[in-house]
Amino acid sequence: MVRTHDGEFLVLLVYVDDILITGTPLSQIEEVKRSLDTAFTIKDLGNLTYFIGIEVLRTANGIFLSQKKYIKDILSDAAMLDCIAAPAPLSCGLPHLRVSLHILKYLKGTLDHGLWYKADDTDLQVTAYSDSDWSSCQFSSRSLSAYAVFLGSNMISWKTKKQHSVSKSSVEA
Protein backbone atom coordinates (compact mmCIF):
# COMPACT_ATOMS: atom_id res chain seq x y z
CA MET A 1 0.00 0.00 0.00
CA VAL A 2 1.29 3.48 -0.83
CA ARG A 3 -0.26 6.68 0.49
CA THR A 4 0.82 10.18 -0.56
CA HIS A 5 -0.39 13.47 0.88
CA ASP A 6 1.04 17.01 0.73
CA GLY A 7 4.41 15.85 -0.62
CA GLU A 8 4.84 13.12 2.00
CA PHE A 9 4.46 9.39 1.49
CA LEU A 10 3.88 6.24 3.51
CA VAL A 11 4.57 2.71 2.22
CA LEU A 12 3.32 -0.53 3.77
CA LEU A 13 4.78 -3.76 2.32
CA VAL A 14 3.25 -6.99 3.63
CA TYR A 15 4.60 -10.50 3.04
CA VAL A 16 2.81 -13.29 4.96
CA ASP A 17 3.31 -12.16 8.59
CA ASP A 18 6.10 -9.64 7.97
CA ILE A 19 5.33 -5.94 7.50
CA LEU A 20 7.73 -3.25 6.31
CA ILE A 21 6.68 0.35 6.99
CA THR A 22 8.57 3.32 5.60
CA GLY A 23 7.88 6.89 4.60
CA THR A 24 8.72 10.52 5.15
CA PRO A 25 6.56 11.48 8.13
CA LEU A 26 7.78 9.56 11.22
CA SER A 27 4.55 10.51 13.00
CA GLN A 28 2.47 8.63 10.41
CA ILE A 29 4.71 5.56 10.68
CA GLU A 30 4.26 5.56 14.47
CA GLU A 31 0.49 6.00 14.06
CA VAL A 32 0.25 2.97 11.73
CA LYS A 33 2.37 0.86 14.11
CA ARG A 34 0.12 1.81 17.06
CA SER A 35 -3.02 0.92 15.08
CA LEU A 36 -1.58 -2.42 13.99
CA ASP A 37 -0.44 -3.22 17.52
CA THR A 38 -3.91 -2.45 18.89
CA ALA A 39 -5.55 -4.74 16.33
CA PHE A 40 -2.99 -7.58 16.16
CA THR A 41 -0.26 -7.16 18.83
CA ILE A 42 2.86 -6.67 16.70
CA LYS A 43 6.56 -6.85 17.50
CA ASP A 44 8.59 -3.84 16.28
CA LEU A 45 12.01 -5.13 15.16
CA GLY A 46 13.41 -1.61 14.66
CA ASN A 47 15.29 -0.48 11.57
CA LEU A 48 15.18 -2.80 8.57
CA THR A 49 18.00 -5.37 8.51
CA TYR A 50 16.39 -8.38 6.77
CA PHE A 51 13.20 -8.81 4.71
CA ILE A 52 12.04 -11.58 2.33
CA GLY A 53 15.55 -13.00 1.94
CA ILE A 54 17.27 -9.64 1.44
CA GLU A 55 19.77 -8.27 3.96
CA VAL A 56 19.89 -4.49 4.31
CA LEU A 57 23.02 -2.69 5.52
CA ARG A 58 22.56 1.05 5.99
CA THR A 59 25.47 3.50 6.30
CA ALA A 60 25.77 7.27 6.08
CA ASN A 61 26.87 6.82 2.44
CA GLY A 62 23.98 4.63 1.29
CA ILE A 63 22.27 1.26 1.50
CA PHE A 64 23.69 -2.15 0.53
CA LEU A 65 21.26 -4.96 -0.37
CA SER A 66 22.46 -8.58 -0.50
CA GLN A 67 21.23 -12.15 -0.20
CA LYS A 68 24.18 -13.52 1.81
CA LYS A 69 22.08 -15.28 4.48
CA TYR A 70 19.68 -16.71 1.88
CA ILE A 71 22.57 -18.13 -0.19
CA LYS A 72 24.21 -19.58 2.94
CA ASP A 73 20.92 -21.28 3.86
CA ILE A 74 20.70 -22.84 0.37
CA LEU A 75 24.34 -23.99 0.55
CA SER A 76 23.72 -25.44 4.01
CA ASP A 77 20.62 -27.35 2.83
CA ALA A 78 22.70 -28.83 -0.01
CA ALA A 79 25.63 -29.64 2.39
CA MET A 80 27.89 -27.39 0.27
CA LEU A 81 28.98 -24.70 2.77
CA ASP A 82 32.61 -25.83 2.38
CA CYS A 83 32.62 -26.10 -1.43
CA ILE A 84 35.09 -24.16 -3.55
CA ALA A 85 33.40 -21.13 -5.15
CA ALA A 86 32.92 -21.12 -8.93
CA PRO A 87 33.93 -17.91 -10.77
CA ALA A 88 31.03 -17.97 -13.27
CA PRO A 89 27.36 -18.95 -12.99
CA LEU A 90 27.42 -21.65 -15.68
CA SER A 91 29.74 -23.51 -18.01
CA CYS A 92 28.55 -25.05 -21.28
CA GLY A 93 27.65 -28.71 -21.74
CA LEU A 94 26.71 -29.69 -18.17
CA PRO A 95 23.85 -32.23 -17.39
CA HIS A 96 21.12 -30.85 -15.05
CA LEU A 97 22.45 -32.13 -11.67
CA ARG A 98 25.95 -30.86 -12.42
CA VAL A 99 24.43 -27.50 -13.44
CA SER A 100 22.63 -27.24 -10.09
CA LEU A 101 25.79 -28.05 -8.13
CA HIS A 102 27.80 -25.60 -10.22
CA ILE A 103 25.24 -22.82 -9.59
CA LEU A 104 25.50 -23.44 -5.83
CA LYS A 105 29.30 -23.16 -6.07
CA TYR A 106 28.89 -19.92 -8.02
CA LEU A 107 26.49 -18.53 -5.39
CA LYS A 108 29.08 -19.25 -2.68
CA GLY A 109 31.47 -16.93 -4.51
CA THR A 110 28.86 -14.15 -4.52
CA LEU A 111 28.07 -14.06 -0.79
CA ASP A 112 29.36 -10.50 -0.43
CA HIS A 113 27.84 -9.22 -3.69
CA GLY A 114 24.78 -6.99 -3.65
CA LEU A 115 23.32 -3.69 -4.79
CA TRP A 116 24.65 -0.35 -3.53
CA TYR A 117 22.35 2.68 -3.44
CA LYS A 118 24.20 5.94 -2.80
CA ALA A 119 22.65 8.23 -0.19
CA ASP A 120 24.05 11.44 -1.68
CA ASP A 121 23.09 10.81 -5.32
CA THR A 122 21.26 14.01 -6.23
CA ASP A 123 21.11 13.16 -9.94
CA LEU A 124 17.48 12.24 -10.57
CA GLN A 125 17.92 11.60 -14.29
CA VAL A 126 16.47 8.29 -15.49
CA THR A 127 18.77 6.37 -17.85
CA ALA A 128 17.97 3.05 -19.52
CA TYR A 129 20.14 0.57 -21.40
CA SER A 130 19.06 -2.42 -23.44
CA ASP A 131 20.79 -5.27 -25.24
CA SER A 132 19.83 -8.31 -27.25
CA ASP A 133 21.52 -11.13 -29.09
CA TRP A 134 20.64 -13.54 -31.85
CA SER A 135 19.94 -17.20 -30.96
CA SER A 136 22.44 -17.44 -28.11
CA CYS A 137 20.67 -20.11 -26.04
CA GLN A 138 22.47 -23.35 -26.92
CA PHE A 139 19.43 -25.50 -26.08
CA SER A 140 16.57 -23.59 -27.72
CA SER A 141 18.43 -21.28 -30.16
CA ARG A 142 16.21 -18.46 -28.90
CA SER A 143 17.41 -14.91 -28.55
CA LEU A 144 17.91 -13.10 -25.24
CA SER A 145 17.10 -9.48 -24.52
CA ALA A 146 17.81 -7.44 -21.41
CA TYR A 147 17.42 -3.97 -19.97
CA ALA A 148 18.64 -1.98 -16.96
CA VAL A 149 17.14 1.29 -15.68
CA PHE A 150 19.02 3.72 -13.43
CA LEU A 151 17.93 6.71 -11.34
CA GLY A 152 21.16 8.68 -11.22
CA SER A 153 23.80 6.02 -10.54
CA ASN A 154 21.39 3.70 -8.69
CA MET A 155 19.87 0.75 -10.59
CA ILE A 156 16.13 0.61 -9.98
CA SER A 157 14.93 -2.02 -12.47
CA TRP A 158 16.39 -4.77 -14.65
CA LYS A 159 15.30 -7.82 -16.60
CA THR A 160 16.63 -10.51 -18.92
CA LYS A 161 14.18 -12.48 -21.03
CA LYS A 162 14.40 -15.32 -23.51
CA GLN A 163 12.43 -14.23 -26.59
CA HIS A 164 9.72 -16.27 -28.30
CA SER A 165 10.86 -18.14 -31.38
CA VAL A 166 10.66 -16.33 -34.69
CA SER A 167 9.02 -18.14 -37.57
CA LYS A 168 10.82 -18.37 -40.90
CA SER A 169 8.06 -16.46 -42.71
CA SER A 170 8.36 -13.45 -40.38
CA VAL A 171 12.14 -13.37 -40.87
CA GLU A 172 11.78 -13.31 -44.66
CA ALA A 173 9.09 -10.60 -44.59
Q: Answer yes or no: do 130 and 163 share one domain.
A: yes
Beta sheet of 62-66, edge-to-edge order: 50-51, 54-59, 62-66, 114-118
Residues 2 and 15 in one domain: yes
Please give the Cα distance from 43 to 19 (Å, whole number): 10
Same domain, 138 and 102: no
55-107 tens-digit pLDDT: 999 999 999 999 999 999 999 999 999 999 988 776 666 687 888 888 899 99
The percentage of residues in the chain with a pLDDT greater than 90, rounded to a whole number, is 39
Mean pLDDT is highest, among 120-124, 135-139, 148-152, for 148-152
**69 shares its domain with 113:** yes
Kindly state whether residues 168 and 131 are assigned to the same domain.
Answer: yes
Q: Has residue 137 got a pLDDT over 70?
A: no
Is residue 39 domain-shared with residue 73, that is, in the same domain? no
Section 44-48 average pLDDT: 90
Tell me how many domains the chain contains. Answer: 3
With 0-12 CB in 10 A as exposed, 13-18 as middle and 19+ as buried, what is 104?
Answer: buried
Q: What is the spatial distance between Cα 64 and Cα 57, in angstroms, rounded to a whole number?
A: 5
Residue 55 lies in a domain: no
Same domain, 116 and 133: no
**Residue 130 shares a structural domain with residue 159:** yes
In a domain, 87, yes or no: yes
Tell me, yes or no, whether 1 lies in a domain.
Answer: yes
In a domain, 54, yes or no: no
pLDDT for res 170: 44
Q: Are residues 38 and 71 in the same domain?
A: no
Distances (CA, A) of 28 to 3, 6, 31, 35, 120: 10, 13, 5, 11, 25
- Spatial distance between the Cα atoms of 108 and 85, rounded to a whole number of angstroms: 5
Per the model's pLDDT, the better-predicted residue between 54 and 134 turns out to be 54
Decide: helix, strand or coil at residue 26: helix
Domain membership of residue 60 (yes or no) is: no
Task: Looking at the structure, tell me whether residues 133 and 160 fall in a common domain.
Answer: yes
Concatenated DSSP letters for 31-97?
Answer: HHHHHHHHHH------S--EETTEEEEEETTEEEEE-HHHHHHHHHHTT-TTSPPPSSS--TT--HH
Quote the pLDDT of residue 94: 61
d(CA 55, CA 120): 21
Parent domain of 13:
1-46
